[in-house]
Amino acid sequence: MRYAPAILVGRLTRFAARLRKPGGGSAVPGLVVNRIAPRYLTRTLSGFPQGLVVVSGSSGKSTTTKMLVAILRAHGVEVFTNPSTANISQGLTSALLERADWRGRVPGDVAVLEMDEGHGALVMQGVDARVVALTNVMVDQIDRFHDSEMVAGMLERIAARAHEAIVVNADDAYLQRLAAKAGPGVAVRRFGVSAEVLARSPRGLGYSETSRERLASDSGVVVASVDGAAAALRDGEASVEITLPARGTHYAVDAAAAYATAQAVLGERFSMATAADALSAIPAVFGRGERVNVRGHEVEFVLVQNPASYQLNVDSIEPGTEQILFAIGSDVRDPSYFWPTDASSLGRVSIVSGSKAAEAALMLAYDGVEIDRVEPDLARALDDFLAGPAPGTGVKTIVFSADAMRRTRAHLGLTGAE
Amino acid sequence: MTTLTIVSLLPSLMNTNGDAENASVLRRRAEWAGLDARVVAVGSRADLPDRVDAVVIGSGSDASLETARSTLLTMHDELRTWGTDGVPILSVGTGWELLSWGIEHRDGSTIEGLGILPGRAVPRDGRVTGDAVVTSPRFGLLVGFENHARDYVGAEGSPLGRLRSGVGNGRGSGQEGVVMGTVIGTHLRGPVLAKNPGFADHLLASMAERAGLDYAPGPAAAVADGYATAAREAQLGAVGAAASVGDA
């Protein structure tokens, strides 16, 4: 009964917010409930019978969370999870309210939460987690995070809330140092890539500092090989073959993270086959490797959001891809911070477009990329790009910033989840 | 043939906005002109090459100022020698501030600079981020993006240029940057040399002359400079529109 009044107020707020802005206002009810019942979030998060699992880190936490939830559900576990856009305090409370009964109780055996690395330490005050999984330490949002030490410090505070196990990326030197400080009684589980996989990533894995040693296969879950969207995880003696949602070593690392975390959560109940099937059934996401049939062509869409994702995604475009449309929109106010990246592997780009087309072309030219045409009008660029014949090698590939993605979807009439 | 050697100073600390990429811009344009060139990343004194034809230092976070300063101090003599020998040194943002007389913080504390460039960085109310347009007597019309939390005083005698738009050195000076011989400090962030090819070619011409080489921009530079012109025009258009809105 304790939270019934607050829940009622939260519900009314949500109703009012949606009248004002249909489909929107999702953080406001959480803000209100956090104000009038400040303990609701901590109590509810601590109240799941099989505990709380937290996934955090600089990059890959959304995919890892999604993969972990799929593995747990495939094992028959009822999971509460948050949408990735609701990974800070008020959004999290709002997400709980969506599922709560009138007393504020949220159904589920276990909660799996994706946690923003910046806000996680604050949200986790007074909350005990069973398991905390950490993906990596990168510095990509220079406005928010100045250096790697700062990010690692925030992740350490989140990891300190784990009372059963922490799961860390063994290839990330910051996380390895953090794991060495784990308290007594807290198990440390690890995942990582093999020496062969690392050798095939010429620019490394994008972590602020990569560990010198690779993880031995008897010490954790190892990404043994990645070939396109096919990957093999080595788990002790066993080799587990999986299909990734899209090409890219980073997806294989996310899968290894989810696999190792599921083992920590499920213990004896964990089944390799069930986990492999669940991982392989995860669909691609629009803008993150999903191929869509548009105007008679198979088209791959690649979203670039920050320098780290830009580099990873550009590197994952098949070399020799003949037709590429590259569009940077007004969401990138000043593209200077993308300059330290290297897009030379693209070789040639058919059309550079978007409101920052000239800036983007200038950057690509200094990377040594040949450009056939610069067309700032994105609608015209898309029409012309799709009207041309199918490429001899590779599929038609569209690389875009978030704003150019929205405009592209609107122009092509593509709908679906963000 | 002599390989033009461009030193990128402290790129791991001082490249938050791609400023250190100006070193790669110089290398590319030299290569496009048929010259041999390389960029040497210098993180400590031990990394310094024997030959130095140009130096680029970018901007870092305020948290890294002390670390950057103590490393730069180990190369104080070299920086002075390059400056007096006519080696172009392009410094941007906090990299420039560290080469100045010093940095004053709002709480009254100061960081002593290396004194290679006249003037000092002083606190201002609020950070400036936005387009800046500068008319420079030596380098022509410079278009860039400024992003800084401090003003700069003491450059009045030898600024980089006059502001046509933006805040620049601030305090109502109407000026941007500072120039002392071939040592340049500017608030213009990111790959300012790519956006302003005339500026880049001015530095490359001095480098080539000192090295006994001839520099003339190559055909590939003409293609890139076409994109630079379009990017400059887009930025000038945005500034012009903003100015006319402000006038109304």
- Pairwise CB contact (< 8 Å): B227 & A358: yes
- Pairwise CB contact (< 8 Å): A142 & B17: yes
- Pairwise CB contact (< 8 Å): A337 & B190: yes
Establish how many alpha carbons lie within 13 A of residue B88's alpha carbon, considering only the half-sphere containing its beta carbon: 25
Residues A57 and A201 in one domain: yes
- More reliable by pLDDT, B114 or A39: B114
Task: Assess A295–B contact: CB distance below 8 Å, yes or no.
Answer: no
Domain that holds residue A205: 48-280
- Pairwise CB contact (< 8 Å): A363 & B191: yes
- Pairwise CB contact (< 8 Å): B61 & A146: yes
Rg value, chain A, Cα:
22
Residue A222 CB contacts under 8 Å (≥ 6 apart), including other chains: A191, A192, A193, A194, A214, A215, A216, A233, A234, A256
- Average pLDDT of span B189-216: 96
Where a domain ends, among A223, A255, A280?
A280
- Pairwise CB contact (< 8 Å): B18 & A339: yes
- Tell me the C-alpha distance between B167 and B150, whole Å: 11
Question: What CATH number is attached to the domain comprising A189?
Answer: 3.40.1190.10
Domains of chain B by residue range:
3-247
Looking at beta carbons, which residues of chain A come within 8 Å of B19? 336
Looking at beta carbons, which residues of chain B come within 8 Å of A144? none
Q: Which residues 372-411 in chain A show a CB within 8 A of chain B?
A: 374
Task: Assess A142–B contact: CB distance below 8 Å, yes or no.
Answer: yes
Q: What is the mean pLDDT of each run of 10 residues along chain A (418 residues)?
A: 72 70 61 73 86 92 94 97 72 79 83 87 84 87 59 91 96 96 94 95 83 93 94 96 90 97 97 97 82 92 83 85 94 86 94 96 96 97 96 93 91 70
Residues A178 and A111 in one domain: yes
Question: What CATH number is attached to the domain comprising A390?
Answer: 3.90.190.20
Where a domain ends, among A252, A280, A308?
A280
Domain presence at residue A34: no
In contact, A230 and A252? CB cutoff 8 Å: no
In contact, B175 and B169? CB cutoff 8 Å: yes
Distance from CA of A321 to the nearest CA of B (A): 23
Distance from CA of B195 to the nearest CA of A (A): 8
CA-closest candidate to residue B59, choices B182, B167, B146, B154: B146
Q: How many CB pairs under 8 A join A and B?
A: 71
Task: Assess A338–B contact: CB distance below 8 Å, yes or no.
Answer: yes
- Average pLDDT of span B25-33: 98
Residue in B20, B147, B224 closest to A362 by CB: B224
Distance from CA of A91 to the nearest CA of B (A): 29
Residue in B145, B224, B233 closest to A334 by CB: B145
* pLDDT score of A3: 77
* pLDDT score of A19: 65
DSSP single-letter state for residue B55: E
* A17-31, A166-180, B152-166, B214-228, range with the lowest pLDDT: A17-31
Three-state DSSP string of B129-155: EEEEEEEECCCEEEEEEEEEEEEEECC
Domain presence at residue A133: yes
| Type of residue at B117 | L
Options 3.40.50.880, 3.40.190.150, 3.40.50.10860, 3.30.360.30; which CATH number does B3-247 get? Answer: 3.40.50.880
Q: Given its phi and psi angles, is residue A374 left (phi above 0), alpha (psi -120 to 50 degrees) or beta?
A: beta
Residues A320 and A250 in one domain: no
* pLDDT score of B241: 57
**How high is the mean pLDDT of chain B?**
93
Residues A387 and A334 in one domain: yes
Domain presence at residue A320: yes
Task: Assess A362–B contact: CB distance below 8 Å, yes or no.
Answer: yes
Task: Assess A48–B contact: CB distance below 8 Å, yes or no.
Answer: no
Residues A269 and A350 in one domain: no
Looking at beta carbons, which residues of chain A come within 8 Å of B191? 336, 339, 362-363, 366
- Pairwise CB contact (< 8 Å): A340 & B231: no
Distance from CA of A37 to the nearest CA of B (A): 36
Domain presence at residue A18: no
Q: Given its phi and psi angles, is residue A36 left (phi above 0), alpha (psi -120 to 50 degrees) or beta?
A: alpha
Residues A297 and A254 in one domain: no
Distance from CA of B41 to the nearest CA of A (A): 13
Residue in A335, A339, A362 closest to B228 by CB: A362
Which residues of A34-109 form beta strands (DSSP E)?
52-56, 79-81
* pLDDT score of B24: 97
Distance from CA of B241 to the nearest CA of A (A): 16
Residue reference for tokens 């946690």:
A115
Please determine, for residue B5, whether its predicted confidence score (pLDDT) is greater than 90. Answer: yes
* pLDDT score of A418: 41
Residue reference for tokens 């008679």:
A296
Domain presence at residue A3: no
Looking at beta carbons, which residues of chain A come within 8 Å of B21? 339-340, 366
ipTM: 0.94
pTM exceeds cut of 0.80 = no
Residues A126 and A233 in one domain: yes
Residue in A334, A357, A366 closest to B194 by CB: A366
Q: What is the chain B residue with the closest CA to A361?
A: B227
Residue A237 CB contacts under 8 Å (≥ 6 apart), including other chains: none
* pLDDT score of A416: 52
Q: In what order do the strands lie in the sheet with B3-9?
A: B36-42, B3-9, B54-57, B89-92, B183-186, B178-180
Question: Looking at the DSSP assignment, which residues form a beta bridge with residue B58?
Answer: none
Residues A275 and A300 in one domain: no
| Type of residue at B243 | A
* pLDDT score of A286: 77
Domain presence at residue A401: yes
Residues A313 and A214 in one domain: no
Tokens standing for residue A268: 């004896």
Q: What is the signed CA dihedral for A388, A390, A392, A393, rounded to 10 degrees?
A: 110
Q: Which helix (DSSP H) or strand (DSSP E) does residue A211 occupy? A: none
Q: Mutating which of B195, B227, B232, B239 best tests the A interface, going by the most A Cβ atoms within 10 A?
A: B227
Residues A366 and A393 in one domain: yes
In contact, A239 and A45? CB cutoff 8 Å: no
Domain presence at residue A418: no
| Type of residue at A172 | D
Looking at beta carbons, which residues of chain A come within 8 Å of B15? 340
* Residues of B at the A interface, defined by Cβ within 8 angstroms: 15-21, 24-25, 28, 61, 63-64, 129, 145, 147, 189-191, 194-195, 220, 223-224, 227-228, 230-231, 233-234
A194 — phi, psi (to 5°)?
-75, 165
In contact, A325 and A348? CB cutoff 8 Å: no
Domain total of chain A: 2
In contact, A13 and A113? CB cutoff 8 Å: no
Where a domain ends, among A251, A280, A309?
A280
Residues A321 and A265 in one domain: no
In contact, B30 and B9? CB cutoff 8 Å: no
* pLDDT score of A143: 45
Establish how many alpha carbons lie within 13 A of residue A313's alpha carbon, considering only the half-sphere containing its beta carbon: 23
- Pairwise CB contact (< 8 Å): A336 & B228: no
- Tell me the C-alpha distance between A279 and A274, whole Å: 9
Residue B57 CB contacts under 8 Å (≥ 6 apart), including other chains: B8, B9, B10, B14, B19, B20, B89, B90, B91, B92, B95, B96, B98, B99
- Pairwise CB contact (< 8 Å): A358 & B230: yes
* pLDDT score of B33: 97
Distance from CA of B70 to the nearest CA of A (A): 18
Residues A226 and A372 in one domain: no
